[in-house]
């Protein structure tokens, strides 16, 4: 286990999944590039990483990686056109994404699972603790989670997962954690993890969501992790090994998240995220809320 105090500067963002729940939109575009209001979902995730002090970002990409790379790169032609028009507002929005962080890329040849995607980050990360942010999981910036997870790692060492209490009927959609209390509110010790269990087999209703702070020992475990559920190499299985044998890389703790979070890889949650964030926007919100109220109340004429 590395020292709990080793600073965390690197963020890994796996974005190589097939996005089958969102076909056909994701046939030629990564789901992380789907717009949430006027920014692709992945930009919110990179902004979250940099807000938590993680300025070195490694994106694990798959097929169709071009749009992701282009989004975080400069687009001189577009910049010139906007500059010539004197459109400073739009120009600054175009520049925003390329100035956020140093973004590196590694290719996951075959999408063999989230654990495999994380393993692809090893040459870049080395023997340092690091954060993993799933590119399709959006955490509201007003509810910071990563900073709290980093503090828990500093206190206990090892690895830290983010947990969400879900209705027991939903637990089969997530990795699920068996936990015991630590005496600190919203911080638990993880005793075991199981990927997408049947409701009857779930050790709790704590679902693992897409933020992790990991000890580099996870790379050693991932190397020997066999394909699990769905034939994929599961990060949950590697964390289960670490939780069961803390001598390998320290304990696993969970931070219980009670804030706002959207799974933008799920169609219904994606729609909720857009409606909510659009309603709260200063520029779009007032008109959009007004329209939405009328729509919900059935006060609209066909053409409105």
Interface stretch with ligand UTP, choices 51-59, 131-139, 157-165, 279-287 (CB under 6 A):
131-139
Q: Among 111, 144, 246, 285, which residue interacts with ligand UTP (rule: CB under 6 A)?
A: 111
Residues 6+ apart with CB under 8 A from 225: 115, 233, 234, 237, 238, 241
Tokens of 249: 């890389």
Q: How many CA atoms lie within 13 A of 104 on its CB side?
A: 15
Helix (H, G, I), strand (E, B) or coil at 288: helix
Q: Among 40, 113, 158, 216, which residue interacts with ligand UTP (rule: CB under 6 A)?
A: 113
Question: Is residue 49 within the footprint of ligand UTP (CB under 6 A)?
Answer: no
Tokens 């577009």 sit at which residue?
78
Q: Among 6, 21, 203, 246, which residue interacts with ligand UTP (rule: CB under 6 A)?
A: 21
Tokens 């638990």 sit at which residue?
188
For helices 88-99 and 76-85, give the axis angle rounded to 10 degrees: 150
Query: For the chain, first and last CA: distance in Å?
Result: 60
Interface stretch with ligand UTP, choices 114-122, 160-168, 174-182, 211-219 (CB under 6 A):
114-122
User: CB of 236 within 8 A of CB of 208?
Assistant: yes
Burial zone of 293 (CB within 10 Å; 0-12 exposed, 13-18 middle, 19+ buried): exposed
Question: Is residue 265 within the footprint of ligand UTP (CB under 6 A)?
Answer: yes
Minimum CB separation from ligand UTP for residue 75, in Å? 24
Tokens 């399709």 sit at which residue?
136
Q: Among 41, 46, 57, 117, which residue interacts with ligand UTP (rule: CB under 6 A)?
A: 117
Q: Which of residues 79-108 bind ligand UTP (CB under 6 A)?
A: 108
Q: Among 8, 33, 68, 134, which residue interacts with ligand UTP (rule: CB under 6 A)?
A: 134
**Closest chain position to ligand UTP (CB):** 17
Nearer to ligand UTP, 13 or 152 (CB): 13
Question: Is residue 60 within the footprint of ligand UTP (CB under 6 A)?
Answer: yes
Question: Is residue 16 within the footprint of ligand UTP (CB under 6 A)?
Answer: yes
Helix (H) or strand (E) holding 189: strand 187-195
CA 289 to chain centroid, in Å, comes to: 28
Binding mask 199-238 for ligand UTP (x = CB under 6 A): ----------------------------------------
Task: Classify strands 261-263 and 137-139 as parallel, antiparallel or unpaired.
Answer: antiparallel
For helices 267-280 and 285-296, give the axis angle rounded to 10 degrees: 130
Question: Is residue 121 within the footprint of ligand UTP (CB under 6 A)?
Answer: no
Minimum CB separation from ligand UTP for residue 146, in Å? 16
Minimum CB separation from ligand UTP for residue 30, in Å? 7
Nearer to ligand UTP, 114 or 243 (CB): 114
Nearer to ligand UTP, 111 or 197 (CB): 111
Binding site for ligand UTP (CB under 6 A): 14-22, 60, 108, 111-114, 116-117, 134-136, 265
């Amino acid at each position: 286990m590395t020292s709990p105090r080793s600073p965390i500067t690197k963020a890994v963002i796996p974005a190589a999944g097939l996005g089958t729940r969102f076909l056909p939109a994701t046939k030629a575009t990564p789901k992380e590039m789907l717009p949430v209001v006027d920014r692709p979902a992945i930009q919110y995730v990179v902004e979250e990483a940099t807000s938590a002090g993680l300025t070195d970002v490694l994106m694990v990409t798959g097929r169709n990686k071009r749009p992701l790379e282009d989004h975080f790169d400069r687009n001189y032609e577009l910049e010139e056109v906007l500059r010539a028009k004197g459109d400073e507002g739009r120009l600054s929005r175009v520049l925003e994404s390329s100035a956020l962080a140093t973004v590196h890329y590694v290719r996951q040849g075959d999408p063999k699972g989230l654990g495999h995607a994380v393993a692809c980050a090893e040459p870049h990360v080395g023997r340092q603790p690091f954060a993993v942010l799933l590119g399709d999981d959006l955490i509201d910036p007003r509810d910071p989670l990563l900073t709290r997870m980093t503090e828990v790692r500093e206190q206990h060492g090892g690895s830290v997962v983010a947990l969400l209490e879900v209705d027991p009927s939903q637990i089969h959609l997530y990795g699920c954690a068996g936990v015991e209390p630590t005496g600190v509110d919203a911080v638990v010790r993880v005793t075991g993890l199981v990927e997408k269990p049947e409701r009857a087999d779930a050790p709790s209703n704590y679902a693992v969501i897409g933020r992790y702070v990991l000890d580099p020992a996870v790379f050693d475990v991932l190397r020997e992790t066999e394909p699990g559920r769905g034939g994929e190499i599961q990060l949950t299985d590697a964390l289960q090994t670490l939780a069961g044998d803390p001598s390998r890389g320290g304990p696993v703790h969970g931070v219980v998240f009670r804030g706002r979070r959207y799974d933008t890889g799920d169609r219904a949650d994606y729609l909720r995220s857009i409606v909510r964030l659009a309603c709260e926007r200063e520029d779009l919100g007032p008109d959009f809320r007004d329209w939405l109220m009328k729509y919900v109340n059935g006060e609209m004429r066909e053409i409105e």
